Structure 1
Amino acid sequence: MIRHLLATTALLVAASTAAQAEEAFQAKLAGHAHLPAFTLIAPPADAPRDAWISGKFTGQTRNEKPMSVMGDVGAAYGQHPTGISLPFLGQPVQGLSGFAMNRADDGSIFTLTDNGFGSKINSPDALLFFHRMKPDFETGSIDRLQSVFLRDPDHKVPFRIAYEGSEERYLTGADFDPESIQYLNGEIWIGDEFGPYIIRATEDGRVLSVHETMLDGAPLRGPDTPGVIVPAVAGKDFKVQRSGGYEGMALQPGSDLLWGMLEKPLLDEDGTPEGSFLRVLTFDTLNGDWTGDSYKFQLVEGATAIGDFNFIDDTRALIIERDNGEGDISLECKTDDRSACYPVPAKVKNVVLVDTAQVDNDGFIKRIASIDLLDIADPDGKARLSTQADGDPSGKFTFPFFTIENVMRVDDTHILVANDNNLPFSGGLEIGTAANNEFILLNVADFLAAK
């Protein structure tokens, strides 16, 4: 017990030191666009009929009556309804969970929808797909130019999938939880949380290979990895936390290396987190294998996970770090009545600039600078959606979403950030209203120039 207390104290000191060492900058809102929360698309014509109604298994029992059960944010977050009911007719374009560094030839951005409804168990009818999108900051809209469904007709997935007996073998949220994406030499690379795996696919969605994660010569597994069954012991049979796989996977320019970052800390032998840091592993796309190198990213105090990871030059990269909060802190609950307040408001939502060429003796990547997504200047009134708060919001913009999972460099002056809206289980801006998928363009010239 004493050993764990000392270790925890040391890690908190390290987190505090990391925060003090980096320089803080303020972002300025330069553009704001959104994709409405309730955006649905039809599944492919040759997909199983089961995929035409999605979200049938999000309750305690099967429910095939469309739009019959109201979604809410969950008991821990006040059980506020979100105004959108399950199950859905079609597939929801929700949960945008990563930007690719490289763009398509037309300048559109590769992004992807995650596993569907939050878990392996409740998402067997949620198809997996990625998109090409273009935000239009003049109109405030987001153009979805293409959606591509992942499929495994060549039987490359090394385990039984939900739609095993179908011809095209479309993948679902019961198979993988895709949370990060990169585009390289005409192919798509996806980081998965369940395995955790790295998936290589064609631009039209056909799986080419699936790679198990290796760390220090041994496979890394989580509680949802196929083959890990009850009674599995945390820390012994698996070391990756549930929903703790590749939330971020950066592509290093000029190297063809993928840098996969786990969302949450690994587990020690006793089943507790090994520290307040995240593991980063490198994968060689040319050889199709792990390099054997690994690094660490130190979270600041209060942060619990990361949301995305993308390089901006040969060595420097952007990382979103976050807590589990949702909603403006000015509306934090002060009483037992949670109907008009946020029990767990957002407090830590940062974009961090790191330098992967600066690594200390313990393997920690250097944190250079950060910006606070809860304190964005908006002197020009660029915000198109207001944030419900107790106070005057003029001149200021906040991004108080539970999961902020997309970041990329646009140019020497701007970055693009977007949230995952967890439809229909997240709010963030207004109590009782489902979160949209929002894209914000931030002017952060000094931040991007930091060394």
Structure 2
Amino acid sequence: MFNTLIRKALTAGVALAALALPASAEEIYPAKLAGHAFLPAFTLVAPPADAPRDAMISGKFTGSTRNHEVMSVPGDVGAAYGNHPTGLALPFLGQPVQGLSGFAMNRAEDGSIYVLTDNGFGNKVNSPDALLFFHRMKPDFEHGTVERLDTIFLHDPDHKVPFRIAYEGTDSRYLTGADFDPESIQLVDGEIWIGDEFGPFLIRATDEGRVLAVYETKLNGKVLKGPDTPRITVPATPGKDFQVQRSGGYEGMALQPDTNLLWAMLEKPILGENGEPEGDFLRVMTFDPKKGEWTGASFRFRLGEGAAAIGDFNFIDERRALVIERDNGEGDPALACTGTDATSCYPNPAKVKRIVLIDTGATDDEGFLRRIGHIDLMNIDDPEAKAVIGAEESGKFAFPFLTIENVMKVDDRHILVANDNNLPFSGGREIGKAANNEFILLEVADFLAAE
């Protein structure tokens, strides 16, 4: 009994000490590339036969005026990233598979992975013709390819969405990027749960994409809203009329294996009444899918040094979970710009791209979750030359993408990570080319065993 108490006291002491450590003092674990595959950037799917004809051409509203001329406007990465072209042009004939924004922890019966596509082209205004869907996919690391087995479109024939949708007057009522920005996904008892950034909302649907319910967000009993929540009108006061930052909703939503609770994590810090971020941490709220309500429990995840947001969140056991943490950089730091000409360099290169291991069962008095350690996605060992693109002579491999939004445990030695390529607005791997959707299998046995 005495020895048990001593062990508990020592464990608690270690946990509290770890909570006080900054991210820079965390242990960094090695990662080895065990497999690499990619889905080409320019991968499109046809809309369902009963979808409005409007959905046959997507991206018509990404410019200042409506544009129906297919592939007439070249895409680029934007001024902040050097205005590099991506080699693709809008609008598209069909719907882009791009923007992979979440892995479900549980797999389909055939072993395939549930993968989510986000809202389309980045915001409500430019995505009313971008359909919302998720997929079942299988990466093939032997051949470096990713097989898309199925694409399931979200639709609301039963009028469960509590506001007017873009395709309101149609029979099929397919959802679009003007309605939601889906960023995280889980499979719970045969049903699909999706975390949205606009509301932020939780969406419950069948595995065939039929919406069953939409839940607003509550923290400490109060409803949280964002600037894109329906019925928020301009002028609106940040921190009072809305508390969640734009593009700050549920980027990560993990399913806890033993409780089947959803742990929904906001991407960015919420705003205080003064309109400023409340701190360098993110809120995490738990939701009970069986009861269809928030539990009232909430936690805090402190961002590490240099991180601006998170990309995904998935449990690996009953207590520990993986969180993607990132900065807003894109591209190889070795090609960082040194002057004003950004033609062949990266003005804002990638630096902070991590997978953090946390312990959800260890919190301090303020509710901060314990950070155990992390791996550095900019410093991956590749001694066996597994990289199919982006290989380095040094035997190293990096994942220098702006948004990395997919992570899941594969087994006790491996995790799977993938990027969101923001088609056609992101590069990162090669200047002048749109980023592909890359899947990397990482051998991280020590990292997964860390406590």
Q: TM-score, normalised by structure 1?
A: 0.95
Deviation at 1:379, TM superposition (A): 0.3
Residues in 2 aligned to 1:347 and 1:79: alpha-carbon distance in whole angstroms? 19
Deviation at 1:268, TM superposition (A): 1.2
Residues in 1 aligned to 2:254 and 2:74: alpha-carbon distance in whole angstroms? 37
Amino acid at match of 1:402: L
CA 1:330–1:15 in structure 2 vs 1: closer, same or farther (change >3 Å)? farther
| TM-superposition CA deviations, 1:288-329 (whole Å, max 9, x none) | 000001100011121000000000000100000000000011
The answer to whether structure 1 residue 270 and structure 2 residue 279 are counterparts is no
| TM-superposition CA deviations, 1:369-415 (whole Å, max 9, x none) | 1000000000000000026xxxx643000000000000000000000
Q: Which residue of 1 aligns with 2:134?
A: 130
Q: Equivalent of 1:68, from 65, 68, 72? A: 72
Q: Equivalent of 1:40, from 41, 44, 47? A: 44
Deviation at 1:216, TM superposition (A): 1.1
Which contiguous aligned blocks of 4+ residues in structure 1 show a shift greater than 6 angstroms?
A: none
Say how many residue pairs are matched. 434
The answer to whether structure 1 residue 184 and structure 2 residue 156 are counterparts is no
Deviation at 1:15, TM superposition (A): 9.9
Deviation at 1:341, TM superposition (A): 0.6
Residues in 2 aligned to 1:245 and 1:280: alpha-carbon distance in whole angstroms? 11
Q: Which residue of 2 aligns with 1:10?
A: none
Q: Equivalent of 1:253, from 257, 264, 281? A: 257
Residues in 1 aligned to 2:164 and 2:399: alpha-carbon distance in whole angstroms? 39
Amino acid at match of 1:229: T
Q: TM-score, normalised by structure 2?
A: 0.95
Within-5 A mapping of 1:328-339: 328-339=332-343
Residues in 1 aligned to 2:308 and 2:277: alpha-carbon distance in whole angstroms? 11
Q: Equivalent of 2:147, from 134, 143, 147? A: 143
Amino acid at match of 1:127: L
Within-5 A mapping of 1:46-445: 46-386=50-390, 393-445=393-445
Amino acid at match of 2:61: F
Residues in 1 aligned to 2:393 and 2:237: alpha-carbon distance in whole angstroms? 48
Unaligned 5+ segments in structure 1 are: 1-13
Contact conserved, 1:21 with 1:368, CA < 8 A, in 2?
Answer: no
Deviation at 1:22, TM superposition (A): 2.6
RMSD: 1.1
Residues in 2 aligned to 1:169 and 1:77: alpha-carbon distance in whole angstroms? 37
> What is the DSSP-based 3-state SS (H/G/I as helix, E as strand, rest coil) of the residue aligned with 1:383?
coil
The answer to whether structure 1 residue 23 and structure 2 residue 27 are counterparts is yes
Contact conserved, 1:15 with 1:298, CA < 8 A, in 2?
Answer: no
Residues in 2 aligned to 1:139 and 1:277: alpha-carbon distance in whole angstroms? 40
Deviation at 1:18, TM superposition (A): 2.6
Contact conserved, 1:55 with 1:123, CA < 8 A, in 2?
Answer: yes
CA 1:37–1:354 in structure 2 vs 1: closer, same or farther (change >3 Å)? same
Q: Which residue of 1 aligns with 2:6?
A: none
Unaligned 5+ segments in structure 2 are: 1-17
Deviation at 1:20, TM superposition (A): 4.4
Contact conserved, 1:180 with 1:308, CA < 8 A, in 2?
Answer: yes
> What is the DSSP-based 3-state SS (H/G/I as helix, E as strand, rest coil) of the residue aligned with 2:371?
strand
Identity of aligned residues (%): 73
Residues in 2 aligned to 1:425 and 1:230: alpha-carbon distance in whole angstroms? 28
